[in-house]
């Protein structure tokens, strides 16, 4: 196995790291938790992108698949207006409990509905009219979340999927310590379907681990 490949040139990545607004104390604590317990969480550049997308879309209703300990949840929830709502699904009880604790300290808890539920069930029960959907859970289930979410977005709503480039393996086709052959095959099929979806104007950005973004057509 070859080690994970940075998507960006390391010089560019270092420059961006130095010039980004640093995460606040709560997010620093959550990042340390993620590193200590090997919980995969979005890096700060992806968190900042999620926040900017939610603000730009004027999002009032956000749905997230894969809370983990709540890092991306904090970035998204802080972008909502006071009467906004964010529903986030997680199946791991320990991570769900940790997210509840952190969200309680984030200043955005009143807007967040953390659900300990398999997203495949939870999404099927959701109504329509969501402004932004963020997918970041089991890679083999991305297509299922996607198929459940696209019809539930409002026109011009955003659908965003993390790990779209899987550390560069989607492009290289070479497995590494994190992504194996089967995941690369699945990831490529998912990204192709995402980018070609007839209801979306879609693109993919080399931010973090790769972020696919689709805007639902009117």
Ligand X SMILES: C[S@@+](CC[C@H](N)C(=O)[O-])C[C@H]1O[C@@H](n2cnc3c(N)ncnc32)[C@H](O)[C@@H]1O
Name the residues that contact ligand X, by CB under 6 A: 40-42, 66, 68, 71-72, 89-92, 95, 118-120, 136-138, 141
* Cβ atoms of 91 and 63 closer than 8 Å: no
Rounded to a whole number of angstroms, the minimum distance from the CB of residue 140 to ligand X is 9
Cβ distance to ligand X smaller for residue 41 or 212: 41
Rounded to a whole number of angstroms, the minimum distance from the CB of residue 218 to ligand X is 29
81 is written with which tokens? Answer: 């207006």
Rounded to a whole number of angstroms, the minimum distance from the CB of residue 101 to ligand X is 14
- Answer left, alpha or beta for residue 129, where phi above 0 means left and psi between -120 and 50 means alpha: left
* Cβ atoms of 143 and 190 closer than 8 Å: yes
32 is written with which tokens? Answer: 């340390």
Rounded to a whole number of angstroms, the minimum distance from the CB of residue 83 to ligand X is 24
Place of tokens 């393996």: 169
* Cβ atoms of 176 and 1 closer than 8 Å: yes
Cβ distance to ligand X smaller for residue 60 or 96: 96
Query: Across the strands, what pairs with 132?
Result: 62, 158
**DSSP characters over 70-112:** SHHHHHHHTTS-TT-EEEEEE--HHHHHHHHHHHHTTT-GGGE
Beta strand ranges found along 3-70 (DSSP E): 61-65
Cβ distance to ligand X smaller for residue 9 or 38: 38
Residues in the chain: 218
Cβ distance to ligand X smaller for residue 24 or 201: 24
Rounded to a whole number of angstroms, the minimum distance from the CB of residue 11 to ligand X is 26
* Cβ atoms of 171 and 165 closer than 8 Å: yes
Cβ distance to ligand X smaller for residue 55 or 156: 55
Q: In whole angstroms, what is the distance from residue 51 CA to residue 9 CA?
A: 24
Cβ distance to ligand X smaller for residue 202 or 211: 211
Rounded to a whole number of angstroms, the minimum distance from the CB of residue 118 to ligand X is 5
């Amino acid at each position: 196995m070859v080690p994970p490949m940075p998507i960006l040139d390391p010089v560019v990545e270092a420059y961006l790291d130095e010039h980004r607004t640093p995460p606040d104390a709560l997010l620093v604590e959550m990042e340390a938790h993620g590193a200590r317990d090997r919980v995969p969480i979005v890096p700060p550049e992806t968190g900042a992108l999620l926040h900017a997308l939610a603000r730009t879309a004027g999002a009032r209703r956000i749905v997230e698949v894969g809370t983990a300990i709540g890092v991306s949840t904090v970035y998204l929830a802080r972008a909502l207006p006071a009467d906004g709502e964010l529903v986030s699904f997680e199946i791991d009880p320990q991570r769900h409990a940790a997210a509840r604790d952190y969200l309680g300290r984030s200043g955005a808890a009143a807007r967040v509905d953390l659900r300990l539920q398999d997203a495949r069930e939870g999404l099927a029960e959701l109504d329509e009219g969501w402004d932004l959907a963020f997918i970041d859970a089991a890679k083999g289930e991305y297509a299922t979340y996607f198929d459940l979410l696209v019809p539930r977005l409002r026109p011009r709503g955003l659908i965003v999927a993390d790990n779209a480039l899987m550390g560069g393996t989607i492009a290289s086709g070479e497995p590494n310590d994190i992504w194996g052959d089967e995941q690369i095959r699945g990831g490529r099929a998912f990204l192709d379907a995402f980018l070609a979806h007839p209801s979306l104007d879609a693109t993919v950005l080399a931010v973090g681990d790769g972020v696919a973004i689709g805007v639902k057509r009117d």
